[in-house]
Structure 1
Amino acid sequence: MTLHHVVVGVDGSLVSVRALDWAADEAARRGAELRVVYAVPDSDESGPVLALAVTRLTARHPELSVVTRGAVGGPVRTLVRESEGADLAVVGTRGMGGIAGLLFGSVSLRLAAQVRSPLLVVRGDHRCDDGRPVLLGLEGDGDEDAARYAFQEAERRGVPLHVLHSWTHRHVTPELPSLLPAVSPDQGQLAQQARAEESVPRFSLARLSERHPVVQVESRTVRTGPAPALLEATRDCALVVVGAHHRTHRFGPRLGPVAHTLLHRSHCPVVVVPIAK
């Protein structure tokens, strides 16, 4: 039988303590084992941090099965390896703006681009169990894994699921000889495109709604860029779930702009779900 487990990365900071608390709540909600990982240059340094983590977990979740590990190496490589087969990996972020925010957030960004399980990055000051809805940022049918996770999370929490689908129209022009002046997009084509775009959430969510009939779903489509609309919606949600749309880069995989923006600026924790290829 496969052992369900949640992985959390800690480093002794207040930020990682908050991540530890969220990871413990998520593991308890799933009935899963919690694996606490501390990646350090020297394994001797991990003992006090892990011991303090166990003390805190025992006081807050005495029934929780906890395993600790001090791993020698960089945090990104360690957590990518540890996330293999996990239900969820959890890390914190300092969430500061400007250059400091970019530097401290680099671990979360690099990890989100490589992790092999859903990754929860703890942001904002929301409590894990405050009863707010789960938010799903949906781009299309390719985000089915993210949608599946969002439905499961909403059902586990017993809260509604809010789905936000965003699109901007692509400029459509008739095929005309190049010597003729440009003309305005055909309104019929734009209307047809709008209907097709707005049908994406309905088709994508229909099967999942049947599998999770207890989840109350509220879906809306906005004709703006996805990042601003999602950022505003994160103010009133427990967490936001998005797919990890990767971009090729000479230094390795990078996240798409929506997930990148949310990891830096979201008002609530962010779950990035790997997209199956």
Structure 2
Amino acid sequence: MRAHQVVAGVDGSLVSVRALDRAADEAARRETALHIVYAVPDLDEAGPILAAAAARVRARHPALPVTTRAVRGSAVRALARESEDAALTVVGSRGLGGLTGRLLGSVSLRLAAHVHGPLLVVRGDHPRWDGREVLLGLDDDADTDVAAYAFREAERRGARLRVLHCSRHRHVTPEMPLPGSATTLGQARLIQQDRAEEAVPRYTVARLKEQHPAVGIDTRTVRTGPAHALLEATRAADVVVIGVHHRTHRGGPHLGPVAHTLLHRSHCPVLVVPTG
């Protein structure tokens, strides 16, 4: 497999066709090749689907290098493996995996927990990007890799970057006011915590802004309901960029609540950047 190409997962459904179109656009934008993958129980069934997919891409992007591959078995396993050397992996929000996918849950959701590189999950009913806004959900740790990826996406699309810093306070037990003081110890700690939490994303964003001066930025800190705040913000965005930490549970890797909410309900495509 050629390194740094865009990988598209297809299965013949309308949703996967729309994801294929988006993947082809991404490959053309990055000036790289497109690799189309179809995971299916019977490899003999893959030929017509892959041939149709390749023909569709070549009709839209005649100069784009296109390769195809049929894989027997799980779509999640196949695409996770292909993602190891991909600049971007693209799937639709439903459809991959047939009956097995419906029984075991969304392929895009499970793939996000195993993918090795950036993953774009395309909603079938979302209009094409028009360069309005890239939305970045920045967690408390202010992950610089995710922020840097979002800046590059905004720059690549000529779009504005909107940053939502999702701050989550620890509970502070109310205390009696100190003599002669207008604030309690708990309030003072919250104020100090506010300043510390907001300084990190401000520093990260300011440093990246120096590296990407053409990108316009809006920033806002959200202290409660980060998943809901990001979900609402996706109504006005072309794409939302989030970092995903692969948390291991007894049943295997598991996504956090923000990623889970957006992958199920986002109003725009979701670009997942794994952070370890």
TM-score above 0.5: yes
Q: Distance in 2 between matches of 1:3 and 1:94?
A: 27
User: 1:105 deviation in Å?
Assistant: 4.9
Relative to structure 2, which stretch is displaced further, 8-17 or 135-144? 135-144
Q: Is the 8 A contact 2:234 2:266 kept in 1?
A: yes
Distance 1:93 1:105, change over 3 A: farther
Residues 158-217 of structure 1, C-alpha deviations (whole Å, 9 max, x = no match): 0111000122321224999xxxxxxx7621111111111222221222221111111111
Relative to structure 2, which stretch is displaced further, 25-34 or 204-213? 204-213
Q: Is the 8 A contact 1:171 1:185 kept in 2?
A: no
Match in the other structure for 1:18: 18
User: 1:149 deviation in Å?
Assistant: 1.1
Match in the other structure for 2:242: 242
Residues 4-42 of structure 1, C-alpha deviations (whole Å, 9 max, x = no match): 300010000001001101101111110011000001111
Q: SS where residue 35 of structure 2 aligns?
A: strand
Distance 1:200 1:151, change over 3 A: same
Is 1:40 aligned with 2:54?
no
Misfit runs of 4+, over 6 Å: none
Q: How many residue pairs are counted as aligned between the two chains?
A: 263
Match in the other structure for 1:189: 189
* Residue identity in the other structure for 1:167: S
Distance 1:59 1:251, change over 3 A: same
Q: Distance in 2 between matches of 1:31 and 1:125?
A: 26
* Residue identity in the other structure for 1:56: R
Distance 1:124 1:15, change over 3 A: closer
Q: SS where residue 114 of structure 1 aligns?
A: coil
Structure-1-length-normalised TM-score? 0.89
Q: SS where residue 83 of structure 1 aligns?
A: helix
Distance 1:47 1:222, change over 3 A: same
* Residue identity in the other structure for 2:213: P
User: 1:124 deviation in Å?
Assistant: 5.8
Match in the other structure for 2:270: 270
Match in the other structure for 1:256: 256
5+ residue gaps, structure 1, are 96-100, 177-183
Residues 105-131 of structure 1, C-alpha deviations (whole Å, 9 max, x = no match): 521111100100100000263333312
Match in the other structure for 2:120: 120
Is 1:67 aligned with 2:93?
no
Q: Which residues in structure 2 correspond to 1:58-97 (within 5 Å)?
A: 58-94=58-94
Relative to structure 2, which stretch is displaced further, 243-252 or 25-34? 243-252
Q: Distance in 1 between matches of 2:142 and 2:223?
A: 19
* Residue identity in the other structure for 2:146: A
Match in the other structure for 1:164: 164
* Residue identity in the other structure for 1:250: R
